[in-house]
Amino acid sequence: MSIVVTGATGHLGRHVVEQLLEKVPAEQITAVVRSAEKAAGFAERGVRIAVADYNEPKTFEGLFAAGDKVLLISGNEFDKGRPQQHAVVIDAAVRAGVALLAYTSAPSSLTAALADDHRATEKTLVASGLPYVILGNGWYHENYTENLAPVLEHGAVVQAAGEGRVSSASRADYAAAAVAVLTGEGHENKRYELGGDEAWSFAEYAAELSRRTGREIAYRPVSVEEYTGILTGAGLPAPLAGVLAGVDASIETGELAVTGGDLSRLIGRPTTPVTEAIEAALRD
C-alpha cells in the first residue's frame, strides 16, 4: 500500500509530501510528477517517483495498486479540459481498486466559473464507486501574498470584491488537511468545506499591509470588468483573467467566507492567520 500524491512538485503538492514525510516512512509515499528532475530531492529521501501526465492516459496505466490512498490535486491547465484530465486519474484508480481517492476541489458555496471544472470532477468521482473524499479548499493566502510587488509599487490593493470577506488559509494548512485524510481513518465518502478560521476584507488586508510597511496602502475596489482589463493588461490570458475576476465577484457575495471550522478540526489546530502570511511575505 502506498500513499500517492499527484502534482507532487506543485505549490500544494510539495507541502503535502513534506508533511507526509513527517508521518509515514518515505517508501510508503509515491510522488506523481511530470518531471523526475524536479522531484530529485524527494527521491533522495526515499520517496518513490512516478512520471505521469494528466494529458497522457497511458502514463497512468499500472501506476496505482489495490489498497493505495490517492490524492488527486486538481490541474492548473484551465485551457485543457481539467475534468477530462482528472477523469484519467479516476479511471486508473478504479481499475486498480484503490482504497481511497481524495480530490482537492472548491467550496460548494462557490458559483464562479472556476468551480465548474471541480463540480464536473466531483460528479465523475462520486459516480466512479470509489471510496472518496472531497476537500473543498477555499482560497489561499498565497494568492495575494506572493504577488505583493505591484501592490507595494502602486500603494494600492486593487480587487473587484467590494466589501466581501474571504476566509483564506495557507497552503500548508490545506496540505495538512489532505495529510490528515490520507493518514487517518473514517473519512470515506465525506466532503469537507475548508477555509480559514477568520474571514477578512480587502480593506483590512490593505490596512495590515500599511501597518507592517509603514506606508499608506489603500484598498481600491473596481468593477469586475475593470479588474478583468487590469489582469489582461498585466499579461494574463483573457479567459484566465475572466475566471479570476469572477472569483472576486463571488467574494463580494460571501461565497468564499467558509467558516464552518472543518479545516481547523481536520488539522487539529487553528488555521494560519493572514497576518502571519503577510509578515512572512514581507520578510522574504
Residue 107, helix vs strand vs coil = coil
Within-domain flag for 119: yes
List Cα–Cα distances, 76 to 50, 80, 193, in angstroms.
19, 9, 21
Within-domain flag for 33: yes
In sequence order, which residues have a C-beta less than 8 Å from that of residue 44 and are 6 or more positions away?
Answer: none
Q: Are 222 and 161 in contact (CB under 8 A)?
A: no
Q: What are phi and psi of 46, to 5 degrees?
A: 100, 5
Per-residue pLDDT, 232? 95
Longest dimension (CA), the chain: 57
Within-domain flag for 254: no
CATH number of the domain at 56, please.
3.40.50.720
Per-residue pLDDT, 1? 78
List Cα–Cα distances, 35 to 3, 171, 229, in angstroms.
19, 22, 34
Within-domain flag for 209: no
Within-domain flag for 234: no
How far is the C-alpha of 61 from the C-alpha of 50, rounded, in Å?
A: 11
222-232 as b/e, with b when 16 or more CB fall inside 10 Å? bebeebbebbb
Within-domain flag for 121: yes
Question: Cα–chain-centroid distance for residue 68?
Answer: 22
Total domains present in the chain: 1
Q: Are 84 and 50 in contact (CB under 8 A)?
A: no
pLDDT tens string for the chain (284 positions)?
A: 799 999 999 999 999 999 999 999 999 999 999 999 999 999 999 999 999 999 999 999 999 999 999 999 998 776 668 999 999 999 999 999 999 999 999 999 999 999 999 999 999 999 999 999 999 999 999 999 998 999 999 999 999 999 999 999 999 999 999 999 999 999 999 999 999 999 999 999 999 999 999 999 999 999 999 999 999 999 999 988 999 999 999 999 999 999 899 999 999 999 999 999 999 999 98
* Domain region containing 186: 3-138+171-194+259-271
Per-residue pLDDT, 40? 97
Per-residue pLDDT, 76? 78
HEC profile of 135-179: EEECCECHHHHCCCHHHHHHCEEEECCCCCEECCECHHHHHHHHH
Q: Which three cell numbers stand for residue 138?
A: 477555499
Q: What are phi and psi of 249, to 5 degrees?
A: -60, -35
